[in-house]
Amino acid sequence: MSRVPALLVMHADLAAALLRAAERVYGPIEGVEVLSNEGLSRDALEKQIVHTVGGWSEGGLVLTDFWGGSCHICGASAARGRGELVIVTGINLPLLLDYLHNRDSLTVDALAERLQKKGQDSIRIQRGSA
């Protein structure tokens, strides 16, 4: 099975910072692209996403920060007519690490489903003790 490629599209410096943080935990990371929406119109951001995902003949994941933001909307537009691309929103550090650990063994779709489930489990509460 070939590796599932990923593009992180997020606000401000979040995508680059998240990738840096993941490298501290995981080690050097290859094959993950990053993009900021800073200063970009919808068309310009969509074009930049299309530019990156255009080379993914077997599809891949566009990972964004939150549902309804321009990163998500432009990712969705870039994936129009390309069923082999999947957008996952709400990406955090646990999810990025989980993607890295599973990108060589799952299909695009199975990996997206896994991240969604993992995301719902990754927020936990640790209360202070009395």
Partner 1 sequence: MSWLIHRIDDRLIHGQVVIAWGERMRPKRIVIADDAAAADSWERGLLASAAPGVAVEVLSVEAAALGYDAESAREGGAFLLVRDLVSALRLVELGARIDRFTLGGLHYAPGKDRINEYVYLGAEDRRAARELIGRGVRLELQDVPATTPTALADLDASVRSA
* Chain positions contacting partner 1, by CB under 8 A: 11, 39-44, 66-70, 72-73, 76-77, 80
Nearer to partner 1, 44 or 110 (CB): 44
Task: State the minimum distance, in angstroms, from the CB of residue 36 to partner 1.
Answer: 13
Task: State the minimum distance, in angstroms, from the CB of residue 67 to partner 1.
Answer: 7
Tell me the helices (H) and strands (E) count for the chain, helix number first: 5, 4
Task: State the minimum distance, in angstroms, from the CB of residue 77 to partner 1.
Answer: 7
Report how far apart the first and last C-alpha atoms of the chain are (Å, whole number): 50
Distance (Å, rounded) from C-alpha 110 to C-alpha 91? Answer: 16
Nearer to partner 1, 123 or 130 (CB): 123
Distance (Å, rounded) from C-alpha 93 to C-alpha 101? Answer: 12
